[in-house]
Structure 1
Amino acid sequence: MSEPISTFLKPSLITLAVVIIMLLLRLIIKTSTLKIARKTQKNEARSRQIIRYVNVLLLITTLFVAMLIWGIDYTDVALIFSSTFAVIGVAFFAIWSVLSNITSGVIMFIYFPYKIGDKIKIHDKDFPIEAVIEDIKAFQLHLRTEENELITYPNNLFLQKPVSLLEKDVI
């Protein structure tokens, strides 16, 4: 084989292997997440949201590894990623509550003792809430009071307040 072809072939095969490994890892994580969701009776929409977060993380990791395989100097890659994350970090600082709610949503997916249909009481001294969990989203919970009032309650606040389970599966 000529020199240019063999020089190009080796990184191509390694990149292909990394992409295949990433796709297999993605499949394993997706299957595991859906299996855990079914076993713990989690909402399918929440499972898909977690899978999206993992897919983005895997994509960024794969791009980083591919850049290193193709010979881009790691200091250049580090500079690109650090600059990008600095800009993203400043933007996220401006919207920290959104990040807090997303993180809380992930934590609630992994460990959340309440399900859709459960009647709960949030012990907040200023604004106590007694309602049924109608839906669990990535950013907030949808709670329905006895007066048929819909309350959207941020996930991060839900994890900070004491909550009591009043009845299971009211709906």
Structure 2
Amino acid sequence: MAQNKANTVSQLQALKDKSGKSYTQLAEETGLTNVYVAQLLRRQAQLKPETAPKLRAALPDLTDELLHEMAKPPLRSYDPNLIQDPTVYRLNEAVMHFGESIKEIINEDFGDGIMSAIDFYCSVDKVKGVDGKDRVVLTLDGKYLPHSEQKTEHMVSRTRPLEKQ
């Protein structure tokens, strides 16, 4: 399965390279975020039927076989060695450094809960800073998910009270 995924990703990356288009250009043509396009082409996201024609228009050399493969639910995974890449390492470092403060602000503004990574949008943008130098803007836009109090009567799997031993 991993070899099949690697082969598919290799073919998709080759098509992207051949097109000469950036992820941002492909995103503009498909109506998706640039990160989601990258996720699709890395087989980390599932291509939805309504998006397939848009992606094929943006990448005309996309074969029926690849589209069929992209329509399958992917095995979402990562290579543990990826953390050694400086960009990935710095992103991890930023989350570790700012994570506790971000968590406290989420809890302060929303309550006891988390940000979804399923109902989630992500994009990378380039802007000029006040000093005129390029800056990276990483947007993480996730639905708020409150933690629930675990009341027995709300557990649908329980059809009767627990029997005492």
Same fold (TM over 0.5): no
TM-score w.r.t. the length of structure 2 is: 0.23
Larger radius of gyration between Structure 1 and Structure 2 = 1
Structure with greater helix percent? 1
TM-score w.r.t. the length of structure 1 is: 0.22
